[in-house]
Amino acid sequence: MLDRKKIKSALLSVFYKNGLEEIVRYLSDNGVKIYSTGGTLSFIEGLGATAQPVESLTGYPSILGGRVKTLHPKIFGGILARRDNPDDCTQLAQYEIPEVDLVIVDLYPFEETLASGAPDDEVIEKIDIGGISLIRAAAKNYGDVAIVASRRQYAELLAMLRENGCGATLANRRYLAAQAFNVSSHYDSAIFSYFNRSEHIPAFKQSVHGVTPLRYGENPHQKAAFYGSFGDMFEQLHGKEISYNNLLDIDAAVSLIREFDEPTFAILKHSNACGAASRPTLLQAWEAALAADPVSAFGGVLICNRELDKATAEEAGKLFCEVVIAPAYNEDGLAILKQKKNRIILVAKTFELPAAQSRTLLNGVATQERDLAAEGERDMTSVTAAKPTAEQVQDLIFANKLVKHSKSNAIVLAKNRQLLAGGVGQTSRVDALRHAIEKAAAFGFSLSGAVMASDAFFPFPDCVEIAHKAGIAAIIQPGGSVNDQKSIDYCNANGVAMVVTGVRHFKH
């Protein structure tokens, strides 16, 4: 197994030809024997270069509508033969199989075809057989063969060949083999996921191309990276590099704001809303959201669901914040926000969040469906003599959306579609409620006539009693406790309206 090997022969079989021309010319200029197939062969000949069709080696034409072209011992023998193995070399000579030193493959675009909404028969035809086999064979025999498995590596290959005098070192070949198995495993995972949409085989497979190194994890001593296509979801207009904690807050912010159709502004800190409001104008929504907790808003993430105008930007720009997210920005407003050089400014594109969520737990991975339940007025069952007014119903819906996206145990207090206070991440529901009441008082809010939302049922009537004494007039909760009637009885005795939804919204 030689360290540096001269490339004397190459097999090219690619779907996309973009970027291939320079490689073909380089190989031809250096006297490399080129073997090729179908459209790739026509492309090479169109450049004025010489290539030998694989049919001349195999003795078979491309058959079955192109499904079988390279699957033949005279192709795979030349790739898999170990050059330092006498028996392998003897068999190559015996069967007149030429050695292949370089394989360049670009697979059929399976994922792109699937994403286009093409019918199943077209998707199936884009499952590459010969190409994936060539990749695995060449990567396995990296001791003697260099493999390029994606058009994304064309420039890298050309630089490597030039650096090594139309050759490749052992380190080069091993690196290319690792990249090749990365391509093939990702390709197979995508195909499995496609079939498993209907088969539901109990297996977890996820493959994500594209990595963004992050400054650090939750803390400076933790290394971190983001695997995914951030640019498909957001355009960053300004600011420093996004951190791990920024990503957590951005994810929470996007999930929350999608609950609202009317002009809404939300401020998040550590993935929880510390301010939120819906109003006729964005500026009014911003002012009401900030009023809920201007202390916690410092260093938070701001998100809205309308173009961020100049007037709102002038006010929001006064606050130190890490991230601002909007679907669009007024030009003058954007200039104002950019005055802070490190402030991250993002344009939220139109994109779908995954239907399933996963997280590492212990020595494995836990998955669940995303919580897409969104309770409206029709999902509320009134269980008390007092009924919520029309305005209270809207406040209950608003509060329930917020509590759904708050860390458990969570209580949200709201009025006039404004977050007054939230108690989040507490070990008891009573503590969450008391914390919310204390916060509301600290920022000058009266809870008279306000509503309360709870992410889970009340195990005892103590919460409704505390809430009522603080001024809460209507309550929304899932229900389902063995002590539900005790809470209902207290509400009936004190004129408090309560509705249940039957849907719990724990968030850990």
Q: Is 171 exposed, middle or buried (0-12, 13-18, 19+ CB in 10 A)?
A: exposed
Q: Is 238 a catalytic residue?
A: no
Q: Is 140 a catalytic residue?
A: yes
Tokens 């197939």 locate to 37
What is the distance between the alpha carbons of residues 405 and 272, in angstroms, rounded to a whole number?
7
Cα–Cα distances in Å, from 232 out to 115, 229, 236, 352? 14, 5, 11, 10
Cα–Cα distances in Å, from 482 out to 410, 459, 488? 20, 7, 12
The helix/strand count (H/E) of the chain reads as 19, 23
Q: What radius of gyration do the chain's Cα atoms show?
A: 31
Written as six digits, the tokens of 92 are 């190559």
Catalytic residue, chosen from 126, 238, 270, 435, is: 270
Instruction: Quote the distance between the C-alpha of residue 50 and its chain's center.
Output: 44
The closest alpha carbon to 306, from 271, 347, 268, 255, belongs to 347
Catalytic residue, chosen from 72, 140, 186, 338, is: 140
Cα–Cα distances in Å, from 148 out to 10, 23, 103, 158, 275? 11, 12, 6, 11, 51
Q: Annotated active-site positions, please?
A: 140, 270
